[in-house]
Chains A and B, each alone.
Chain A
Amino acid sequence: MPVETSLNIAVLVSVGQHPVSGRARRADQDARAVELGLTLAGRSLSLVHVGDAGEPALRQYLGMGLRTMTVLQEAPEADAASSLLQYFATHPADIVLAGVQAERGEASGLLPYLLAERLGWPLVPRIAQIRAIENGRAEVLQALPRGQRRALTVPLPFIATVDSAAPGARQTAFGPGQRGLFDIQRGLAQADVARAEWVEAQARPRPKRLNVVKAKSAAERFKAATAKPQGQGGQVMKQESSREKAQAIFDLLVAEGVIRQ
């Protein structure tokens, strides 16, 4: 893989949550992002976490073979995006990788977007691989449903979120994890104003829309189970102007009742 070695690659890591036991762990997608970063940059990869360096689960990232991790020390209710923004202002990076979505807390998946917006960088969602980086451009593979991939070329610097389709993270080793060091820096301690107003409640499983399959034969049932759902009224717009595209999205949101007029 042709990679310019002088690249600064940073991975944003969070504290995950085991789906069965709920215990803290390295988050799966974040760990895949670290794996991707390690294959690109080796041990010069930098890890950044906003939160508490005392969390033992963070050591699982260090156990993947990294000597240090930067922790922007913050209370749980602080706004992570502004601290990160400040951090990247003084520590320039060429590529920032993150998981698609956190496993605990707000888990909205918005953080990379906020960061990209404020840094003014492009954001590539859900990548599976970075194939090459040459002349300030990266060739990335984006993961689409059902194993499909889309090749994109992105100019540096950019932010990418790493999909669960990316290669699995390597095993974390206890020894290096324990010996790894935290470079603890003070965060901005800016309160997340929007969040302060929210009321939190236990999530309830939402009823799933049933997909009624009217298949007669086994072959049809098989097809219904595996084939990409078709004819759901989608529309491919390539030539149209940005305004037309935006209008189409807007109309869809209104039609689906996401936006009420």
Chain B
Amino acid sequence: MMLDWLLPALLAAALGLLFAGALRRIRLWRRGRPEPVAFLAGLAAMPRRYLVDLHHVVERDRYMSNTHVATAGGFVLSMLLIVPVHLFGLESRWLNLALLLATLLMFCGAVFVFLRRRHPPARLSRGPWMRLPKNLLVFSASFFVLTLLTSGLLPEGFGGWVLSILLAAGVALGLAEMLFGMGWGGPMKHAFAGALHLAFHRRPERFGGGRSTGLKPVDLEAPTLGVAKPEDFTWNQLLGFDACVQCGRCEAVCPAYAAGQPLNPKKLIQDMVVGLSGGSDARYAGSPYPGVEPGNASGAPHQPIVDGLLSAETLWSCTTCRACVEECPMMIEHVDAIVDMRRFLTLEKGETPNKGAEVLDNLIATDNPGGFAPDSRMNWAADLNLPLMAEVGRAEVLFWVSDGCFDMRSQRILRAFVKILKAAQVDFAVLGNEECDSGDLARRLGDDATFQSLARNNIAVLNRYRFERIVTTDPHAFHVLKNEYGDFYPEGKGGDYEVLHHSTFINGLVRDGRLQLKAHKGGTVTYHDPCYLGRYNGEYEAPRALLNALNIELSEMERSGYRSRCCGGGGGAPITDVPGERRIADMRVEDARAVQADLIAVACQQCTAMLEGVVEPRPQIKDLAELVADALVEEVHEPRKAAMSQEQP
């Protein structure tokens, strides 16, 4: 029979091509900057990362998750069996049976892939991805029938030469897609690159339920700072880009994309793939950057990214909300890549758009983005008589005031929080003029030099005092203090304190019975999760528990919790201010209107500013601290009366 020699030959050829393609691909990744990884441990952990962590994300789409388990599981099993059975001609009834089952499983999965692809949602890419389900079907069906034939379950000579030719064609087509395509950039590339990406992920802490959201520091002594060309990424970042399956989940959640700004995280990752392998985006078959005609981008590993593959505006549209990262089934790190490229623009080219340069200059000269006098940080609290760390030296709680002290609206939140601290008789102190901007803004704008100098200043001040925890009302300061300062503590000094967001802290006070609260009165309330509290730090519970303690029954927006839509205020987006068709804050308020909210509870001064910037009529915006302060039952504390009587001797 013709198949007797053709089949092993086809298989061997396909495997050989896969091998050659894989080597070539690995060489492409290795053009990136070196980064050490735990090589063997990573490989060993890979199956678990795939089965548990990755599927945890994929499972948000139940249909796809089951489909993928069947298709991928069936395929991997089939391949493992096809090699002994069809390449080496091992005769075993059990192996044949197993192979039949495996191909059947894969076929069932492929049917569901096919069904999904009949009317694909806009977020999915077309092009080669449209032929994939057919080839999955062809591959599994061909090997199924073939195995039936070779195992003797069908009579000798069944189907005659017609079937043989059909099978030969099917096997060739299937192998071309599945093996050749895997090595040479077809849709199946994702399986090969994805597996290695999971093994050598740059944030291995993310697996096993962990969280890793802090940006990695720039080595300021390096010959170039940030990423100018694809080969300036680390090799495992390049590998990560290659793992993208173009599922477009990131696109579907990206607030900048929805606002019609020229950013689409999926296209961005695909452009990086074009960059690392060289070529143009002419074959990209997904949604473009809004307002940018696709097909004109081209790049190569050693060619500049900006103005070749994408425009700077694309990079500056991102709010660093991390919605894309949270949603990506391949656990790709879009925000790291975007900030890496911003770093080059700011640190090497001096091209931070719009108000960016001014804000960075202010941060350098006055330690705050607004350029206010650094010795006026306490003006907001002139009448509050706050204990200063410089005077008391130690306190249980260090209240990190943040740059909200310069903004009249934010001051209301700060004052509300002070009221709560006093009501609960918390032993606290503030840094006053010794505090600097946390550096969040500088870092997201790509200026890691200024971030690092602010961080070092702040750490030096923090190390002078003794306290058990830092509490702040600003999720951005919270995030950098908690997750990003760790890289800058001088050898083993400092950092041995808790960092808490005020929502967590107040909730603790309520739980401990240190605050007496009345029930909140008013209409429907919804809660907006700040990105830097939720996705960056996983705090979804405390704010809700706190609102619950105020007797508020939340009317949750469709996009809440880990799927919360950004207010548009992060990542320096209000400063770089890239024009779009809509404003992100407007869309967020629209979300709240959809659940008939009269009040949006927020937990961030930046969110407050962004959402209050939406024209009225709109729901009221109030910070958790303000809601709690309004609900305080006062005059219950004996020591307070004692203090008053002391004042009147």
Residues of chain A touching chain B, judged by Cβ–Cβ distance below 8 Å, are 18, 20-21, 23, 25, 63-65, 170-176, 178
CB-CB under 8 A from B367, the residues of chain A are: 21
Q: Decide: B364 and A64 in contact? CB cutoff 8 A.
A: no
B 567-582 to A, binary, CB cutoff 8 A, 1 in contact else 0: 0000000000000000
Chain A at the B interface: mostly helix, strand, loop or mixed?
Answer: loop
CB distance from B315 to the nearest CB of A (A): 16
B347, CB-defined interface residue at 8 Å: yes
Instruction: Please report the C-alpha to C-alpha distance between residue A194 and residue B367 in the assembled complex, in whole angstroms.
Output: 38
Residues of chain B touching chain A, judged by Cβ–Cβ distance below 8 Å, are 220, 224-225, 346-352, 356-357, 360-361, 364-367, 371-374, 447, 449-450
Residue in B356, B366, B447, B450 with the greatest tally of chain A CB atoms within 10 Å: B366
Q: Decide: A65 and B374 in contact? CB cutoff 8 A.
A: no
Q: Decide: B350 and A171 in contact? CB cutoff 8 A.
A: yes
CB-CB under 8 A from B374, the residues of chain A are: 20-21
Q: Decide: B373 and A178 in contact? CB cutoff 8 A.
A: no
Q: Decide: A174 and B225 in contact? CB cutoff 8 A.
A: yes
Q: Decide: A171 and B224 in contact? CB cutoff 8 A.
A: no
Closest residue of chain B to A21 (Cβ to Cβ) is B366
CB distance from B355 to the nearest CB of A (A): 11
The answer, among A20, A170, A173, for a CB contact under 8 Å with B348, is: A173
CB-CB under 8 A from B447, the residues of chain A are: 174
Q: Decide: A20 and B346 in contact? CB cutoff 8 A.
A: no
Instruction: Please report the C-alpha to C-alpha distance between residue A20 and residue B364 in the assembled complex, in whole angstroms.
Output: 12
Instruction: Please report the C-alpha to C-alpha distance between residue A72 and residue B456 in the assembled complex, in whole angstroms.
Output: 32
Closest residue of chain B to A20 (Cβ to Cβ) is B373
CB-CB under 8 A from A175, the residues of chain B are: 224-225, 347-348
Q: Decide: A174 and B449 in contact? CB cutoff 8 A.
A: yes
Q: Decide: B349 and A23 in contact? CB cutoff 8 A.
A: no
Q: Decide: A171 and B366 in contact? CB cutoff 8 A.
A: no
The answer, among A21, A63, A64, A172, for a CB contact under 8 Å with B373, is: A21
CB distance from A61 to the nearest CB of B (A): 12
Instruction: Please report the C-alpha to C-alpha distance between residue A176 and residue B360 in the assembled complex, in whole angstroms.
Output: 16
CB distance from A195 to the nearest CB of B (A): 28
Q: Decide: A21 and B352 in contact? CB cutoff 8 A.
A: no
Instruction: Please report the C-alpha to C-alpha distance between residue A17 and residue B271 in the assembled complex, in whole angstroms.
Output: 44
Q: Decide: A176 and B348 in contact? CB cutoff 8 A.
A: yes
CB distance from B366 to the nearest CB of A (A): 5
Q: Decide: A21 and B365 in contact? CB cutoff 8 A.
A: yes
The answer, among A21, A171, A178, for a CB contact under 8 Å with B357, is: A171
Instruction: Please report the C-alpha to C-alpha distance between residue A18 and residue B373 in the assembled complex, in whole angstroms.
Output: 10
Q: Decide: A23 and B225 in contact? CB cutoff 8 A.
A: no
Instruction: Please report the C-alpha to C-alpha distance between residue A5 and residue B347 in the assembled complex, in whole angstroms.
Output: 29
CB distance from B531 to the nearest CB of A (A): 27
CB-CB under 8 A from A178, the residues of chain B are: 220
CB-CB under 8 A from B361, the residues of chain A are: 25
CB-CB under 8 A from A174, the residues of chain B are: 220, 225, 346-347, 447, 449-450
Q: Decide: B350 and A20 in contact? CB cutoff 8 A.
A: no
CB-CB under 8 A from A173, the residues of chain B are: 346-350
CB distance from A199 to the nearest CB of B (A): 28
CB distance from A222 to the nearest CB of B (A): 29
Closest residue of chain A to B221 (Cβ to Cβ) is A178
The answer, among A23, A65, A170, A176, for a CB contact under 8 Å with B365, is: A23
Closest residue of chain A to B226 (Cβ to Cβ) is A175
Q: Decide: B372 and A20 in contact? CB cutoff 8 A.
A: yes
CB distance from A53 to the nearest CB of B (A): 20
CB distance from A47 to the nearest CB of B (A): 16
10 A-B contact pairs sorted by A residue (CB < 8 Å): A18-B365, A20-B371, A21-B365, A21-B373, A25-B365, A171-B351, A171-B357, A173-B350, A174-B220, A176-B348
Instruction: Please report the C-alpha to C-alpha distance between residue A138 and residue B432 in the assembled complex, in whole angstroms.
Output: 53
